A and B are shown apart, each in its own frame.
Chain A
């Protein structure tokens, strides 16, 4: 009997190709790349890396240009919605205080009165943000926008939607709370509003013999079929995303038209649930997936910052695919972003407005300096911040970081900011700006290296620096911290740190201006 090794040798041909590792993803891949770079494998072995990026916008452009193979592709339309007390007044209601503060708490505390008000904003026909009106308005606007494109849309094929599907995204993370909010409140609520309500019940899944992702999709589709009853549910179906996000990736369904995000943060994985082309609930052709992010209009901040970030992200994505992408270019024509200021109807942003967001480098710098003073991820990393080269003695630095940390909500030593006198306030503010300026100032040092290597993100640039011992050493000498430590400050999806998208944008702007 041959040994295992000998059997393998006799059964497999000798190696002619190097081993190949293919990593693929529809959306982000940065975390993997970062992690892989940190393994030291690049130093130990000769690894050839091939990168291939293709974005949604590439496909949008191809469709608009009349590419026949993109015939069934649908447009992605984000809408940023601010609401305020006036919107509720129009429905004859008063806005519950919780909706002015924290959507996540409202859901997880099972505050059904507030939740009903929140949902009414989108599901009550008298609301200024009634989803059916918003969907039809967007369809009409997009078709008008593309009337001169080769794609040749006919309004009546898509317009006057009566029944539609909504993918409701909430911050509910516990299965128990998910089941309770569904059973105690949402089934009845949506039934009253003329919508069938679909929730993915973990018990029902088990009873149905659920055994994997494919089964989940089958379960989801069959439940959609059951609820697809125009007499009982004349307005359509609302499906609520389950708390186990990764599994819900397979629940993509052409009958979903609107993604409604009613939580504090955005989960990029949920964006795709509505992006399947095909038949709709009311038998119309599907033109687009409408993704709505909603929140209360705060006194000083509204969705404009999220819009800007979204546009800059699109630009950075395009750059990754093609580093020669112009800042304002034909790629913008496939971008459909709606802004909805409280008390008004949603407006499609013009190409001019989109372009202005991109070309305003000063605004980008201001946006960077506006990093939240309450950001736990950045201000919690004293180990890194203390190493930064700034014009302060280390003792003072330590004391000032301590003061900033005390302002971070939830930190154990939190004290109300009022206890600081004006001079302390200014010191903290000055120091805070010095830290950020020192970090952002390093972009100027990075830009040449980034341009030379076709890197379009700060993260990619830092990762490359981290792999080169000489460059990394030089960075520590100049800035005080290593590329790895800088990457830690950038954060990730769970712990948002420095404003990466804006920093990428500024890095690219500097390179564009240099060229």
Chain B
């Protein structure tokens, strides 16, 4: 079971009915399979940016709300568009609807659920019930062949550009005292999650200075096997250090959740200075709102992480 949150499907399992290794929105249709439903990722911003427009636009009203906060068993599907029989012209390339039709053609016992566009019903001896996830996968296997299961969903091309840009710049400037990435990228440009995805592989500790107002967003992107958050609000330097050390003992990458709004007493600066010889990154999201007036703190933070 994985928590489904708009921006959290990096490590969700996906089934690939294609010989290609990389997601290509020109060639592939995408959809989700979740809790007996098979349909779009409608309403999920990242899915849109990923080009998952096999997905319905008109999602049923409560879906996005539930998917935002609930815990579901979700798979993503990726299939060659050429394998999908297009039954009629659909807006926004709703391939999932065409796949629904293919399943209905395959098995006359299956029909649409009039109450839920993402749900298919099957008639059984005891009545009508939704298709289970397993049954959906069986039908898809008959239609498209054995799917390859992957645990990683690929980053969007625009996310990849940013990741590549940061890495190349780092490699060209390894002799610098500090690398300053300044990114002003409007919100619908596929930049979601880039602060998470762009962390360099060598980095072992991250000081996120925009954390108090975005703790949920930041931690929801974490890979629980890899990352561990360390809260700092209302905590002493010793408590924070204990958590950091414990996280490292468990082999985790440490995210120290800090703030630019609350008073950061000298303890925090001292704490940062302890990590000056480590591979550390600092993140400040929405800088003009969170940090511009606290520039003296940023100065101290930078000085202590450099020296």
Give chain A's interface residues, CB within 8 Å of chain B: 4-5, 7-9, 11-36, 38-41, 44-56, 58-59, 68-69, 71-73, 154, 157, 212-214, 218, 221-222, 225, 228, 246-247, 249, 254, 269, 272, 275-279, 283, 285, 320
Closest B residue, CB atoms, query A268 = B288
Shortest distance from the beta carbon of A314 to any chain B beta carbon, whole Å: 12
Most buried by B among A11, A39, A320: A11
Enumerate chain B residues within 8 angstroms of A13, measured Cβ to Cβ: 202, 204, 278-279
Q: Does B286 contact A (CB under 8 A)?
A: yes
Enumerate chain A residues within 8 angstroms of B39, measured Cβ to Cβ: none
Q: Are A21 and B91 in contact (CB under 8 A)?
A: no
Q: Assuming A17-B279, A18-B174, what are 13 further A-B pairs, CB within 8 angstroms?
A: A18-B177, A19-B177, A21-B283, A22-B283, A25-B183, A39-B299, A54-B191, A68-B93, A72-B57, A225-B65, A279-B42, A279-B43, A279-B57
Q: Are A25 and B277 in contact (CB under 8 A)?
A: no
Closest A residue, CB atoms, query B220 = A214
* Stretch of B9-17, B44-52, B131-139 lying at the A interface: B44-52
Shortest distance from the beta carbon of A155 to any chain B beta carbon, whole Å: 12
Q: Does B275 contact A (CB under 8 A)?
A: yes
The listed residue (B48, B65, B170, B279) touching A15 by CB distance below 8 A is B279
Q: Does B281 contact A (CB under 8 A)?
A: yes
Shortest distance from the beta carbon of A41 to any chain B beta carbon, whole Å: 6
The listed residue (B59, B93, B215) touching A279 by CB distance below 8 A is B59
Q: Are B169 and A48 in contact (CB under 8 A)?
A: yes
Q: Known interface pairs A41-B302, A52-B183. Does A17 touch B174 (Cβ–Cβ under 8 Å)?
A: yes
Shortest distance from the beta carbon of B203 to any chain A beta carbon, whole Å: 7
Q: Does B80 contact A (CB under 8 A)?
A: no
Cα(A47)–Cα(B216), bound, Å: 31
Enumerate chain B residues within 8 angstroms of A276, measured Cβ to Cβ: 45
Q: Does B230 contact A (CB under 8 A)?
A: no
Closest B residue, CB atoms, query A53 = B184
What per-residue 1/0 map shows which CB atoms of B151-193 lie under 8 Å from chain A? 0000011100010011001101111111111111111111100
Q: Are A275 and B188 in contact (CB under 8 A)?
A: yes
Q: Are B274 and A16 in contact (CB under 8 A)?
A: no
Q: Are B191 and A24 in contact (CB under 8 A)?
A: yes
Cα(A279)–Cα(B296), bound, Å: 44
The secondary-structure label for the interface of chain A is mixed
Enumerate chain A residues within 8 angstroms of B180, measured Cβ to Cβ: 21, 23, 36, 47-50
Q: Known interface pairs A8-B274, A22-B166, A69-B50. Does A16 touch B202 (Cβ–Cβ under 8 Å)?
A: yes
Q: Are A25 and B285 in contact (CB under 8 A)?
A: yes
Cα(A55)–Cα(B183), bound, Å: 11
Cα(A13)–Cα(B279), bound, Å: 7
Q: Are A48 and B299 in contact (CB under 8 A)?
A: no
Q: Are A26 and B286 in contact (CB under 8 A)?
A: yes
The secondary-structure label for the interface of chain B is mixed
Q: Are B283 and A68 in contact (CB under 8 A)?
A: no
Cα(A213)–Cα(B190), bound, Å: 21
Q: Are A157 and B181 in contact (CB under 8 A)?
A: no
The listed residue (B45, B64, B165) touching A52 by CB distance below 8 A is B165
Give chain B's interface residues, CB within 8 Å of chain A: 25-26, 42-43, 45, 48-51, 53, 57-59, 61-62, 64-65, 68-69, 91-93, 156-158, 162, 165-166, 169-170, 172-191, 194-195, 198, 200, 202-205, 213-217, 241, 245, 248-249, 274-275, 277-289, 291-293, 295-296, 298-299, 302-303, 305-306
Q: Are A15 and B277 in contact (CB under 8 A)?
A: yes
Cα(A283)–Cα(B93), bound, Å: 18
Q: Are B286 and A17 in contact (CB under 8 A)?
A: no
What 8 A-B pairs come out closest when comparing CB atoms?
A35-B295, A48-B173, A214-B216, A69-B51, A11-B248, A45-B177, A31-B292, A72-B48
Cα(A31)–Cα(B184), bound, Å: 12
7 A-B pairs whose Cβ atoms sit less than 8 Å apart in the complex = A4-B274, A14-B278, A17-B170, A24-B286, A52-B185, A69-B49, A320-B184
Enumerate chain A residues within 8 angstroms of B194, measured Cβ to Cβ: 24
The listed residue (A9, A12, A71, A246) touching B53 by CB distance below 8 A is A71
Enumerate chain A residues within 8 angstroms of B65, measured Cβ to Cβ: 218, 221-222, 225
Most buried by B among A15, A17, A44, A228: A17
Cα(A218)–Cα(B216), bound, Å: 12
Enumerate chain A residues within 8 angstroms of B298, measured Cβ to Cβ: 35-36, 39
Q: Are B241 and A24 in contact (CB under 8 A)?
A: no
Q: Known interface pairs A29-B287, A59-B189. Does A22 touch B282 (Cβ–Cβ under 8 Å)?
A: yes
Closest A residue, CB atoms, query B157 = A69
Closest A residue, CB atoms, query B92 = A71
Cα(A56)–Cα(B187), bound, Å: 8
Q: Are B187 and A20 in contact (CB under 8 A)?
A: no
Shortest distance from the beta carbon of A271 to any chain B beta carbon, whole Å: 10
Cα(A158)–Cα(B45), bound, Å: 20
Enumerate chain A residues within 8 angstroms of B59, measured Cβ to Cβ: 278-279
Enumerate chain B residues within 8 angstroms of A24, measured Cβ to Cβ: 181, 183-185, 191, 194-195, 283-287
Cα(A212)–Cα(B275), bound, Å: 29
Q: Known interface pairs A13-B279, A22-B198, A47-B180. Does A69 touch B156 (Cβ–Cβ under 8 Å)?
A: yes
Q: Are B204 and A19 in contact (CB under 8 A)?
A: no
Q: Are B274 and A20 in contact (CB under 8 A)?
A: no
Q: Known interface pairs A35-B295, A53-B185, A212-B213. Does A20 touch B288 (Cβ–Cβ under 8 Å)?
A: no
Shortest distance from the beta carbon of A76 to any chain B beta carbon, whole Å: 9
Enumerate chain A residues within 8 angstroms of B303, measured Cβ to Cβ: 41, 44
Closest B residue, CB atoms, query A246 = B289
The listed residue (B58, B181, B203) touching A23 by CB distance below 8 A is B181
Enumerate chain A residues within 8 angstroms of B179, measured Cβ to Cβ: 17-21, 47-48, 50
